[in-house]
Structure 1
Amino acid sequence: MKNALDLVTAAKAQVTEIPVTEAEAAIRNADVLIDVREESEFGAGHLPGAIHASRGMLEFKLSGTPALAARDIKVVLYCKTSGRAALAAAAMKEMGYLNVTSIAGGFDAWVAAGKQIDKPQLPSFG
C-alpha cells in the first residue's frame, strides 16, 4: 500500500523539476503558468501571471479549456512545496502533454528567494 509521500516520490521520478533559480526564465518561455494550490492559497498570493487550477480539478480544467488543449504547449506548474505540482505534472504527462515542468520547492521556495508575488488588492473604504 502506498501513501501520499510514495506517490509524490514516484511522480518526481518521472517529471522535470526546475530549481527556483531557473524558474523565472522557464516562466518567460512558457505558454502558461499554473498554480495547483487551493483557491484560498492562490487568493492569499501567487506568482505573477499564474492562472489557478487546483490539483483536484486540473484534469477537468485542462479538458474543458480549448486554449490549454494543445499537447505541445509549454507549462510550468507550482504548488506550496512541490508535491502537488509533481502529481499534477505526472497526470499531465499521462494525458499526453509534452512540455510540463514544475518548480522545485514551489511557492515557498519562490518566496524564500525573495521573488515577487501578486496579492489581491483590498478595496479602500477611507
Structure 2
Amino acid sequence: MFGEERLDRARRVPGEVGDRRGDFGECAADHPELDGISLAEALSALGDPVRLSIVRMLGDGREHQGSEADVAVSPSTLSHHFATLRNAGVVFIRPEGTCCWHSLRPEFEQRFPGLLAAVLAQR
C-alpha cells in the first residue's frame, strides 16, 4: 500500500491538484505524531541559535509568517529551519493561499512538559 501511494505521488505533475510539492516548501509536509518524537530530537531542533530565535518569536502564542523572523539567513535556509522545527514537533505550519503561518504546537508542551518554558526563559 505505502509503495503504491508513493508511486502515485511521484507520477503527479507539480502544481496539479493533489500534488504536495507545490510552492509551499515547508508547508507541504505532514506534521509528525508527537509520540514518535524523542527528547533528543526535540533538544536537537531547539539547540540551533536560528531555530531558538524562531521559537522565541513564536513564543507570543500568535501565528507568524516566516518573513517575520529576525534572523540573518537566506529564505531557503529559513525554510529548512522551520521544517526542522516542524519535524521535531515544535512548530505547526498552516498554509493559507501562498503564505505559510507558523505557530508553536500546543501539544508539544503535553509531550515534553516545561521544555519550551525553560527554553523561552533563557535569553
| TM band (smaller chain) | 0.3 to 0.5
> TM-score, length-normalised on structure 1?
0.36
Q: Relative contact order, CA 8 A, sep 6+: which one is greater?
A: 1
Instruction: Compare the two structures and name the one with the higher helix fraction.
Output: 2
Between Structure 1 and Structure 2, whose CA radius of gyration is higher?
2
> TM-score, length-normalised on structure 2?
0.37
